[in-house]
Amino acid sequence: MLIDTHCHLPTDITLARKMFDETKEVGVTRLINIGTSIKDSKNAVKIAEALDGVYATAAVYPHEDMDVDIKTLKVELQAIIDSSKKVVAVGECGIDISNWQGGRKIEEQVKLFEMQVELALQNDLPLILHNRGGDTEILDILTTYKRIHGEKLRGVSHCFASSPETAQKLLDLGFLISFSAMITYPSRKELLEVVKAVPNNMFLVETDAPYLPPQGHRGEQNHPKYVRIVAQKVAEVRMAPFDQICDYSYQNASRIFIFK
């Protein structure tokens, strides 16, 4: 069995159901549908409530909902969390230092991220981290909160794309490393060092569908069923049986996320 721990399902319930049915046909029994804005998080919950085996998260991505103040965003996110037991994490949230046109300045991103770290702690939920160029800021913030809250602060580094050194620092903070199909790209061979090194109890697999399709499917829309390809690559790199990698990933996901 496998869980795609990070995907973005279609907003239309009929299309989402069709995609999940196709995913179940290849042995992927659960999906986590990720929220990236207030509207998107509400829709993720709606789909999760309609589909057995689909779960939701709630969060504001670094460059979403820019017309709403952070205090109001926290109130709205809390209402979404309270609305459903199928909300299993706060995320994806974090830092995005990229060429995003008109995005939040780094100072505002930090405030938004800190608010969502606090929201996760207040609700005893894991965080799902978005990190694009934000290693320093994310590690600094997590380290500060970890000193205060200890093991209550926990989560996942989604679509890991940083250095082995950053991976180790996240592991030391108790965060799992989640691998996407980027590990199948010839241009991202440096990620394979992390795939080899991460402990068996500290990794997950994901698709980030419809983004980042695996090698061999570039140019297509990604699909949650392709999480099998990610798991196969992890098995190949770690020289481990495929079924064992599936079991580890499933167990790790079931430990960090509380599926009700």
List the chain domain ranges: 2-256
| Alpha-carbon gap, residue 3 to 61, rounded angstroms | 23
What are the strands of the beta sheet with 155-157, ordered from one edge? 2-7, 28-33, 54-58, 87-96, 127-132, 155-157, 175-179, 203-205
**pLDDT of 99:** 84
Predicted pLDDT at 102: 85
Cβ-based neighbour number of residue 170 at 10 Å: 25
- For the domain spanning 2-256, the CATH number is 3.20.20.140
In the prediction, which pLDDT does 100 show? 82
Give the β-pairing of 155-157 and 127-132.
parallel
Q: What is the pLDDT of residue 132?
A: 96
Q: Which residue positions in the chain have pLDDT lower than 50?
A: none
